[in-house]
Amino acid sequence: MSDPFTLGHEMYYKIKELRNFTTNKVTAGFSTRHGGVSQGPFQSLNLGLHVKDVDHDVIDNRRRLAEAIDTQLEQWVFADQVHGSDICKVEQTDKGKGSKSLESGIIGMDGLYTRESGLVLALAYADCVPVFFLSEESDIVGVAHAGWKGSVKGIAAKMVGTWVTNEEVAVDSIHVFVGPSIQGCCYEVDKHVITQVDDSLDDEDPRPYTAKGNSKYQLDLQRLNKQLLMKAGVPEKNVHLTKLCTSCNVDRFFSHRKENGTTGRMLGFIMVEQ
């Protein structure tokens, strides 16, 4: 199967053929590190306001990306992420939150969803897993930030459960796209992390990691999220994984691990067009 993400512009990868998965006109993608004005370790399309880059440059970069997908930055909604599993429903009254300052973002959230058209939901990443959600039969879309902490807390499955319970969305209508992140080839973790991965799974579930010895493991966060999504009722055929690794492709993406913690941030974004 071909990768669900393809380069749509030097600034972003887009999810291919979304018209095959929903009757709504949805725009969704994941930014690259190219096409911006930031300097130094943040060169060039850093989109994170929390990494000690020049705020003016970050806002300029955000405007450039917004324009590249035919939107205005004032339509975008950002969260102040905390590596948790809390999810917020975004309304028109949230329009523009976090777009020009960290403090104005939706506080303490790692998942956003909306039924409103014309709002661009955006979260920041630099190795953590971006998870995009849409429905075949509903106007609902969402995005989640799933680092290892959010993954083991089940943020992706929690988004599905929220839609089913609160929004009356049929679980088998939900499609999930797991975007560029650090992959199992590059993600070594210790026993502390693996213990929590094990706690998130049932005893009979396959393990999404391999042991390397010396209490070190290669963890596949994409596979973990897929397993938890399927346990939440999403059909396996509806979970679409990319092969793009942010650490292997540091020429295209920022990587917190590969670049020793001093680097920029990409954005995962999604909206229902007006």
Give whole-number Cα distances, 6 to 14, 28, 122, in Å.
Answer: 6, 11, 19
Using one digit for the tens of pLDDT, what is the confidence trace for 195-221?
Answer: 999 999 999 999 999 999 999 999 999
Q: Is the peptide bond before 44 cis (omega within 30 degrees of 0)?
A: yes
Residue 1 has what pLDDT?
A: 66
The two structure tokens encoding residue 228:
């938890």
Average pLDDT estimate for 127-140: 96
Per the structure, the complete domain to which residue 15 belongs is given by 5-272
CATH of the domain at 230: 3.60.140.10
Question: Is residue 44 a contact partner of residue 38, using CB atoms and an 8 Å limit?
Answer: yes
Residue 23 has what pLDDT?
A: 86
pTM to 2 decimal places = 0.98
Average pLDDT estimate for 5-27: 94
The two structure tokens encoding residue 243:
């092969």
Using one digit for the tens of pLDDT, what is the confidence trace for 82-114?
Answer: 999 999 999 999 999 999 999 999 999 999 999
Using one digit for the tens of pLDDT, what is the confidence trace for 64-79?
Answer: 999 999 999 999 999 9
DSSP state of 206: P
Backbone Cα Rg of the chain: 17
Q: What percent of the chain has pLDDT over 70?
A: 100
**Lateral strand order in the sheet of 76-80:** 5-9, 12-15, 26-31, 266-272, 120-125, 76-80, 106-107
The domain tally of the chain equals 1
Question: Is residue 94 a contact partner of residue 137, using CB atoms and an 8 Å limit?
Answer: no
Bridge partner list, 113: 89, 142
Determine how many CB atoms are found less than 10 A away from the CB of residue 98: 21
Question: Is residue 261 a contact partner of residue 68, using CB atoms and an 8 Å limit?
Answer: no
Question: Is residue 77 a contact partner of residue 98, using CB atoms and an 8 Å limit?
Answer: yes
